[in-house]
Structure 1
Amino acid sequence: MAQQRDDRLRVDALIVGSGPVGCTFARILVEGGQSVLMVDAGPQLSGRPGEHLRNTFLYQRDVERYGNLVSGHLQRLSPSPPDRIDQPGDLPARIDSALVTYAVGGMATHWTGVTPRHHPTVERAGCIPAADWEEFYGQAEMLLGTRTDLSADSVGHQTVLDALSREYSDLPEPYGVQHLPLAAQRRTDNPRLVRWSGADTILGPLADGSHERGEFSLREQHLCRRLQPAAGGTRIEYAEIEDHTRWRNIRVEAETYIIACGAVLTPQLLYASGVRPDALGRYLTEQPVAFAQTVLPSDPGTAPEQDPDPNVWIPVSEGRPWHCQIHRDLPYDDVEPHRGIDSSSVVDLRWFGLVDPRPENRLLFSDTTRDIFGMPQPEFEFSLSSNDLARQWSMMVDLRRATRALGGHLPASPPRFVVPAPPLHVTGTVRMGTDADTSVVDPDARVWGIDNLYLGGNGLIPTGSASNPTLTSVAMALRAARGILSHTHRSIDNGHRLLSTG
């Protein structure tokens, strides 16, 4: 089928990617009076754009069915890796089976909602001032709806909290055992159900088509295939968009271009556009995962029917560079059903480790092989250093300590390392920094040497991190969006409208 003629659009800002970070940029820029076009290659999966798929009665009551739903929305980034059997005790380090979500809302359509702040010295990037981190972390928590009381009334939660607090009484404040911060809240009409924050939460009134100042349009199944640099290469002149709903091309001209489509797809688009700084794809980090399951003691006399799930946290701290979650989540592929055990009493222990950024750990793109969208095929080169391995084995010792404190592990699910499950917490692929030779963007999230091109997402995080990255990426996007507004000094009166010129 032949494509229709090209159309042209002019806007203040084009945002590629509709996950939490892209939506953060959109919310701030529209509130600042700008016209914003957001595009996503994937479809819209819910009536409200970017809503969490678990916000339905069926999927909250039937975790297995929900897991099947999530699996159906994941796309493999690279061809299947060759079969490999790890030797007993090996720590899996491969990420060549990584998956991505093509959908409006991105990974926030099915994420766990865990939103901790990164540790100020162990994880946090020093290229952003400490005062800015404090300000924008607070704003990000408000935007995402982060809270720590989701399981406050749970008997099982208190059981876990008490047992681990006794075991880890040596940990200093504020890094002891505590409530897990989650971007979610219980419904007031039925407290047994939870409303999980998604991209729609961040969009706020924009998700309902309401905004007082600028203009906003979100277009599903619109693939940004290429950014065209202007002569001299210091600005982007236009973006080439493929509209897969009407099979046409759109040329989008903008004052500002923001790419926020993930730690793999963002550098993929830059590579396809010929924007290839030395650090592109390098310094990739990922979080090794140690996992076990235990079962909580059942006491029908104290635990109410449908007791809320436990959500307990042991934060990263100096001397303990791993992030600990004790909760219930989708099981890994190698977890077998526990016969004869009430599944509602099974608790997951997930310990996430930290890997040092090294330039040899990297993301590559093929010049000959294409993915499902015809974009350069990504490939991974990733290994763990001796320091990385030593940290992970210390993490495993700690996981075994916690498991014993909770009464021991289930026989079918002992403490072990697992291949990280999707969506992966890949970072560093378009890292932020103060040196153009070792980073892709400056501390304002602007690509070095290109005045009107900004990036967002986990790929900007330049440090090794064990904690979930979403809150940090949203905080960085808030800071960058405020900077864009201060640099452009534009208002709705003199800004571009969402205007077709074709």
Structure 2
Amino acid sequence: MTGEFDVLIVGGGLMGAAVARDLRDADPDVRIVMADGGPVIGPTPGQHLHDVADPAIWERYNQRVASGIQGFYTGVAPTSDVGSTLDGVEPGMYHLTSLGEDAAAMPAASVAWNAGGMGVHWTAATPTPWGAEVPSFLDDDEWLRDLERAGELLRINRNPYPPTEAGRVVTASIEKLFADVDAPGRNVQPMPMAARRDAAGVLRRTGPNVIFPPIADATSDPHFTLLTGTRVTRLIHEGGEVRGARLEDVRSGEAQVVRATTTVVCADAIRSPQLLFGSGIRPPALGRYLNEHAFLTGRVLADPQRLGFDLAALPTQADGETVVEHYWQPHSGAAQPFQVQIGTQTFTSEDGTRLAYQVGTSMYIPTEVQADNRLEFSDEATDVTGMPRITVHFAWSDRDRELIEQARHVQQAIGDALGSFDPETESALLDPGCSLHFTGTVRMGPADDGTNVCDPHGKVRGFDNLFVAGNGVVPTALVCNSTLAGMTTAVRAARAALTALGRPAKNV
């Protein structure tokens, strides 16, 4: 079966949804086909699992996010090998090793095998990139406009949880430790989240079908086609032009070819470069410069007597929420290189008596961008999806390890300021891959010098109509959560794809 479209979007997660939304807002007649490899979780494509009505799905999701650690969305234990085929595999999160990749160097790395990708799992934290996190070669005004649009697409809420008495004294205590090293405006503050309250006061997370509603109901848009459970196995190209793609139904194995004038690959930082490699599109930087921040998790029980708050008066987590409040201490560059993610929880007895107020103190530690940290793709072996098998090469540098040790001391100081903190039992340096905030594998750059895969607008080197978008395009070492930075690349790619189509914006 052959289809003719203006734009093929590979991947139906947050980034793919954003590209579709900006194309549609610009021109209601653009013919879009979106191929999403995994099966749907629940009844509605692209629905964030926090807001799925099915109680079994909801319970499983909330059990896994309760730790606040994205790498544990797969569960604490490694996921088992899915076998030789994806047919019948339950949709969800899987470690790379479970899918047949060699990820010993990044053992906690995992990906979503479901429609909507990580966009149906993510915690929705959206702190703003700052300083060296922002690519220096981007125009400042254009960056700010793209950042604003990315925030609109994600529906960012700057203060999602009301502050409590205990939260005020906890954040004030933490702020005292950073007051001398904070850049202006970089003090402890509420964590922005892509979550808005509905009429009943419930925080609803932004999933792909919030960004682009036709994902939930494709019949609502006559020029949009959604193909779930459909893998893109190869891009068809000749002479620097992508003419379409070969698609394969995961269950039946039935193949089809889709023709499209323009293609935008938004598969994620692992599978976007895998698809390009498998299609014979192999810029020198493809898969290289793999980066993620190190993750030092911690927790401490705040001392009510020392800090001066009334434990008995504390509110508890709202239904469906894992925290009472969510804050962040931003980084401030070299003087203060860490992000501290701060989540609070109230523990109660069965009769409702307040027992303790726990403060999570997760340290996000920047790591050096290194070309040798990379994804290596095989020309011969394949993984369970039938794509080139991946070997992950990743190691912390000496400078990375120095910062990790520095972060341990900062975390200790925070714990000591709030209560009694024992790093042996209340802190852990998590395995590489656990943040799931992977960047750099299809990175952008200002010049075609072999150190990047695409230009600043996401156009793949050597092609006029092939674009990439998402976290993998980010070329810098992020300290903050990666989604907002990645979303700016989707905004840029959508704009560039529209230009490549030669379609003037009708509604902008």
- TM-score in terms of structure 1 length: 0.84
Which one of the candidate residues 223, 226, 230 is aligned to 1:218? Answer: 226
> Equivalences for 1:86-105 in 2 at 5 Å?
94-105=105-116
Percent identity between the two aligned chains: 30
Alignment of 1:42-441 (within 5 A): 42-56=38-52, 59=58, 63-64=62-63, 71=75, 73-78=92-97, 94-119=105-130, 121-170=131-180, 171-189=182-200, 191=201, 193-204=202-213, 207-209=216-218, 215-230=223-238, 232=239, 234-244=240-250, 247-297=253-303, 299-306=310-317, 309-318=324-333, 319-327=335-343, 345-409=357-421, 413-420=425-432, 422=434, 424-436=436-448, 437-441=450-454
465, 472, 476: which one pairs with 1:463?
A: 476
Is the partner of 1:54 in helix, strand or coil?
A: helix
- Please give the root-mean-square deviation of Cα atoms over the aligned residues, in Å: 2.9
SS of residue in 1 equivalent to 2:325: coil
1:107 is paired with a residue whose SS is: helix
Question: Does 1:32 find its partner at 2:42?
Answer: no
Listed as ranges, the gaps of 5+ residues in structure 2 are: 67-71, 76-89, 305-309, 346-352
Residue 9 of structure 1 deviates from its aligned partner by 0.7
CA deviation map 1:66-88 (0-9, x unaligned): 6698547212223689999xxxx
Contact in 2 for aligned 1:122/1:321 (Cα 8 Å): no
The AA in structure 2 aligned to 1:202 is: I
Do the aligned partners of residues 198 and 348 (structure 1) sit closer, same or farther apart at CA in structure 2, a change above 3 Å counting? same
Q: Which of 11, 15, 21 does residue 9 from structure 2 map onto?
A: 15
Cα shift at 1:35 = 0.7
How big is the shift at 1:328?
5.7
Q: Secondary structure at the match of 1:350?
A: strand
Aligned mates of 2:269, 2:340 — CA distance in 1: 23
Deviations 1:172-224 (A, max 9, x none): 321111111111123331x3x42111112211355344767x71111110000
Q: Which has the higher contact order (CA 8 A, sep 6+)?
A: 1
Q: Give the Cα separation in 2 of the matches to 1:124 and 1:463.
A: 7
Aligned residues: 461
For the 8 Å contact 2:108–2:432, the answer to whether it is kept is no
Decide whether aligned partners of structure 1 residues 76 and 60 sit closer, same or farther in structure 2, where only a CA change above 3 A counts. Answer: closer
More helix by share: 2
Opposite residue 63 of structure 2, the aligned amino acid is E
Query: Is the CA contact (8 Å cut-off) linking 2:232 and 2:246 kept in structure 1?
Result: yes
Q: Note the C-alpha offset of 1:379.
A: 1.0
Q: Are 2:331 and 2:339, in contact at CA under 8 Å, matched by a contact in 1?
A: yes
Q: Is the contact made by 2:377 and 2:389 (CA closer than 8 Å) also made in structure 1?
A: yes
Instruction: Spell out, residue by residue over 1:350-397, the C-alpha distance to the aligned partner (whole angstroms, 9 max, x if none).
Output: 111111211111110122322111111111111122222222222222
CA distance in 1, matches of 2:363, 2:311: 30
Deviation per residue, 1:121-169 (Å, 9 max, x gap)? 3211123211111111111111111112211244443343232223333
State whether residues 78 and 378 of structure 1, in contact with CA within 8 Å, keep that contact through their aligned partners in structure 2: no
Structure 1, unaligned stretches of length 5 or more?
1-6, 85-93, 330-340, 494-502
